[in-house]
Chain A
């Protein structure tokens, strides 16, 4: 059941990405899948499979003609970052949206490092982060 829900969420993200990419909006291709990763691994309490998330990343790379490993590299970096923070900072605080925003910024930053832009770096960074954050908020509010 959980797997099916994850497939539906992934399909929604992929189709939305596809739809948005038709209208030539500024590089939204990676923004929605980043939100999907964060939602599945950091937000959702429904026990998403780690392996399934990796397969989703693999499929997403294939769908949108990224190099295989691009999405998973970002996702694993986020997990590593989370793990490192958990190890070094020992606070127990209620979850806030700022942490997700930090994760999104980090993910976008890694993506822009992998696919460097010649100009308007900050502009794309802000716009894509905003799109990711909005989509993540929508997932948190309505996905369950």
Chain B
């Protein structure tokens, strides 16, 4: 093995050191007496304490190194854990966000439906709550498709309202859906009255795409900006007294005696998902 190398060829079994037996026995006795003596005395104890300082300081260095290695390995292990945990949390967060959005959507839908039910309960007991399926139906501006049709008892000419007032009129009925033309459409004419204080002025109102207008309104009629406009009613489909909007502008026309009135509609169907079809 190790000792079979060339260097060790001339070695012999026992130690080559010549030790005096008597000296050895004396040393053994002295050593044993030191060993068996009380070592907490004031001579040996300080020596022991001062000798232990060296290994203690080295031990501290080792301990520090060991802790450092542990800390570093813990750091990487915990970093890995944190990264995977972070990834899981991000996934969970995304799922929760989607859930919250869904909940918020349901909540707003619920809120809106409640509003419509209140409208139904307070004003139009035989009305139908319907959901808007399609805006600008078949490419026509101010035409909606809603999810109630002939089987739900909807028929042409019915008025559609939201919480603020009149929205439009049913112009086409399918089996399970209907088309509504809004009051902003320039194809829809309504008979309404402007209430200025206690005085009422009737007129024909039509849409112009953005607002409602009355093309010719006699200047002798005293009205103010902000006066409210309501439906006159036709004893058939359009109920009386539905809010249409407010007078927004008074514009001069080519005819000196007439104003052109711009009315801001009170309803905004583009902010609604549900509407009420009035029977």
User: Chain A: residues with CB nearer than 8 A to chain B?
Assistant: 14-15, 18-19, 22, 41-43, 45, 50, 54, 59, 62-65, 67-70, 72-73, 76-77, 79-80, 82-83, 85-86, 91-97, 99, 137, 140-141, 144
Contacts and interface: CB of A to CB of B under 8 A. Distances in A.
A50 B19 contact: yes
11 contacts: A18-B58, A18-B62, A41-B17, A50-B19, A62-B51, A65-B52, A67-B35, A76-B27, A76-B31, A83-B19, A86-B15
A18 B4 CA distance: 32
A75 B175 CA distance: 111
Contacts of A22: 59, 62-63, 66
Q: State the main secondary structure of chain A at its contact with B.
A: helix
B3 A73 contact: no
Interface stretch (B6-14, B74-82, B185-193, B225-233): B6-14
Interface residues on B, range: 35 or more
A14 B7 CA distance: 27
Interface of B: 1-3, 7-9, 11-17, 19, 21, 24-25, 27-28, 31-32, 34-36, 39, 44, 47-48, 51-52, 54-55, 58-59, 62-63, 66
Contacts of A95: 3, 8, 11-13
A14 B24 CA distance: 25
Contacts of A64: 55
A102 to B, nearest CB: 10
Contacts of A91: 13
B3 A140 contact: yes
B13 A69 contact: no
A18 B56 CA distance: 9
Q: State the main secondary structure of chain B at its contact with A.
A: helix
Q: 4 closest Cβ contacts across the A-B interface?
A: A62-B51, A69-B35, A95-B11, A69-B34
Given A64-B55, A76-B27, A76-B31, A86 B48 contact: no
Contact of B14 (A50, A69, A73, A82): A82
B62 A99 contact: no
Contacts of A59: 51
A82 B34 contact: no
A140 B2 contact: yes
Nearest to A64: B55
Contact of A96 (B3, B19, B21, B51): B3
B27 A54 contact: yes
Contacts of A83: 19, 21, 24
Chain B CB count within 10 A is highest, among A15, A63, A70, A144, for A63
Contacts of B28: 73, 76-77, 80
Contacts of B62: 18-19, 22
Nearest to B50: A62
B52 A69 contact: no
A50 B19 CA distance: 9
A139 B111 CA distance: 87
B20 to A, nearest CB: 10
B259 to A, nearest CB: 100
Nearest to A68: B34
Contacts of B51: 59, 62-63
A93 B13 contact: yes
B3 A97 contact: yes
